[in-house]
Chain A
Amino acid sequence: MTSMNRKPLLSLENLKVYYYTDEGVVKAVDSVSFNMDRGETVGLVGESGSGKSTLGLSILRLIPPPGKIVGGKVFFDGIDLTALSEDEMRKVRGKRIGMVFQDPMTSLNPLMKVGDHIVETIVSHEGVPREKAVERACSLLEDVGILPERFNDYPHQLSGGMRQRIMIALALCLKPDLVIADEPTSALDVIVQYQILELMRKLKQVYGMGLILITHDVSIVAEVADRIAIMYAGQLVEYSDVNSFFNSPLHPYSEALLESIPNIQLSDQKLKYIPGIPPSLINPPKGCRFHVRCPYAEHRCGEVEPQTVEFERGRFVKCFRYVE
């Protein structure tokens, strides 16, 4: 897709992840492709049920049954993750790709000291002696703004924000090249959200890892990301650098998404929203999946699926309006 001469850190090629449910096949991720470079932050944005969390989990091959990667490839640092054995994949998880989850209240084992989570991860990947891992865990706790004295606390003794800091420390403890953060701030209150974002931004400078930030909040992406990927109904509809995107969104869905951000200065205005509801992923609409809600829809939009085109260098969009 890109004409980079460097090897991208992560490259998805037509990734397809389907859930085989009793009601039918849910095409949660349907032919998604994009590249990201080392040290980059990609904001992956979409509504609930657009497939963004599934996409995040499928990179680590942790899709719960009845979900399955049915097609496409995930190249990470040149290696096709979909072709690795389960044991090789296990060595990638945590060590080379870290993950931060949405709900810090439920993502830590309630019966385990928070520090031991970190120690366990370090020891199981690097086989270092426990005392050494404890030392590293304590300095890591400091890095994420938690006093090392809290090492022996259990998760229920920490606040949501502190637990998310622990999750971040866990994702970073083996200095991975990529961290996938699935709505890391959604379960937190606003002030803590800001602190966590600040922390992630700071740590990115220290650790230099790539970051995929999955969120439904476009404004977060504006603050921290280099690139933005917009998902709609299991497909990537726009992929762009953040500046150009916020100046001139290409896809009609992106446009509508930006318009629906409430503006505090124009408080007497009515809230804008996108009419209609997101389509079913079992029977997605024919053609472009957005055409039912799209103000620019033409006849062909409901007939054939538009191809993804490179509108400008590094800006991709899946819409007929940009096809010559």
Chain B
Amino acid sequence: MSLRVYVARRILLAIPMILILLTIVFLVMRVAGDPVSAILGAHAPKEQIDKMREKLGLNDPLYIQFLGYLWKVLSLDLGRSLIWGQRPVLEEIMEHFPATLELSISAFLFGVVVGILTGIFSACRYGKLIDHFFRVYGIITYAIFIPWLGISLQLIFGVYLGWLPTSGRIDPLMAPKTITGLYVLDSLLTFNIPSLVSAIRHLILPTVTLGFYLSGIFTRLTRAHMLNVLQRDYIVAARARGLSERKVVYKHALKNAFIPILTMMGLQFAALLAGAILTETTFSWPGMGTFLTERILYRDFTTVQGTIVFFAFLVVLVSLIVDIIYVYIDPRIRY
């Protein structure tokens, strides 16, 4: 099977996944409450309710509603917000998404790098004190409550030490010209050093908070798989050829231990999004998380539904990417 066939097959397999997902979102939203009373309030007159039901198509049979919904989603129409000028949901999402993407990327990198390095370190010192320390570290970080950690960091580095800002993405009036919407990247692209510094300073605490939470599972997973791989014959054989310990550990062992780690990266992506919501609220980060919690409080039905679909699409996309990366790491998958 060639690489192209493999990738095409993975993409085709993503289609039923998306259909199932849309069905679930559709059904859950039908039982989650009456959108009409959400829009008009509980005490609206009957004629107005009937009019609104007609307007939203809620009097049609369920399957017609479903097909209509499917068609709209597939034509990238996630509906309009129920509040504040009723802007298209997708437009609002795209406004807030870059902030979340920026935070997610930096937190994910931080968490994965810290997790993998501590895991390797732990495995290479199996049974020693530092190994026990990182095992406990793995449990604590995985169990930690993000807002608590965020508030603690804000208190220490923001309030007591005064080193870092505790909220927002960038200092007022410092935002770089929008190219990608990622402030760090945009600052770099426009050679805007002051806004780069400001963006990075704002990014540190949320990144550490979310990254710390993510790192624990990678510490434990990396440690377990490295311990397993380090006992394999090909590791002894690599040492017997006189390769340096660094090469043996990072080139031979880590690459083999990386496949399950990669799987976990894909799975943790959902945890990353959930964690991003909590981190954003803690740090008033103007991203999807803040946006979503705000709209849930306002019972902005269509926006919440649209955001869920958007997140779900992302998770499907990431698992697709992970499946494709596998092929590049493990030659045995394709053939």
Q: Contact between A101 and B329 (Cβ–Cβ < 8 Å)?
A: no
> Interface size class for chain A?
20 to 34
Chain-A contact segment, one of B29-37, B98-106, B241-249: B241-249
Number of interface residues of B (CB under 8 A): 22
> A90 on the interface (CB 8 Å rule)?
yes
Query: Which residues of B line the A interface, CB within 8 A?
Result: 231-234, 236-244, 247, 252, 255-256, 329-332, 335
Q: What are 17 A-to-B residue pairs whose CB atoms are below 8 Å?
A: A90-B244, A93-B241, A101-B240, A103-B233, A106-B232, A107-B237, A108-B237, A110-B331, A111-B256, A111-B330, A111-B331, A121-B243, A124-B244, A124-B247, A125-B242, A154-B331, A156-B331
User: In the complex, what distance in Å separates the CA atom of A51 from the CA atom of B243?
Assistant: 26
User: In the complex, what distance in Å separates the CA atom of A103 from the CA atom of B213?
Assistant: 42
Contact of B236 among A92, A101, A110, A125 (CB under 8 A): A101
> A213 on the interface (CB 8 Å rule)?
no
Contact of B234 among A60, A110, A157 (CB under 8 A): A110
Q: Which residues of A contact B234 (CB under 8 A)?
A: 106-110
CB distance from B325 to the nearest CB of A (A): 13
> A95 on the interface (CB 8 Å rule)?
yes
Contact with B along A94-118 (1 / 0, CB 8 A): 1100110101001111111000000
User: In the complex, what distance in Å separates the CA atom of A8 from the CA atom of B241?
Assistant: 23
Query: B236 — nearest CB in chain A belongs to which residue?
Result: A62
Q: What total count of A-B pairs have CB within 8 Å? A: 77
User: In the complex, what distance in Å separates the CA atom of A109 from the CA atom of B249?
Assistant: 12
Query: B331 — nearest CB in chain A belongs to which residue?
Result: A154
Q: Which residues of B contact A167 (CB under 8 A)?
A: 237
User: In the complex, what distance in Å separates the CA atom of A14 from the CA atom of B142?
Assistant: 51
User: A124-B247, A156-B332, A157-B335 in contact; A107/B233 too (CB < 8 A)?
Assistant: yes
Q: Which residues of A contact B237 (CB under 8 A)?
A: 99, 101, 107-108, 167, 170
User: A111-B331, A154-B332, A156-B332 in contact; A106/B233 too (CB < 8 A)?
Assistant: yes
Query: A124 — nearest CB in chain B belongs to which residue?
Result: B243
User: In the complex, what distance in Å separates the CA atom of A90 from the CA atom of B256?
Assistant: 23
CB distance from B261 to the nearest CB of A (A): 14
Q: Which residues of B contact A156 (CB under 8 A)?
A: 331-332, 335
Query: B243 — nearest CB in chain A belongs to which residue?
Result: A124
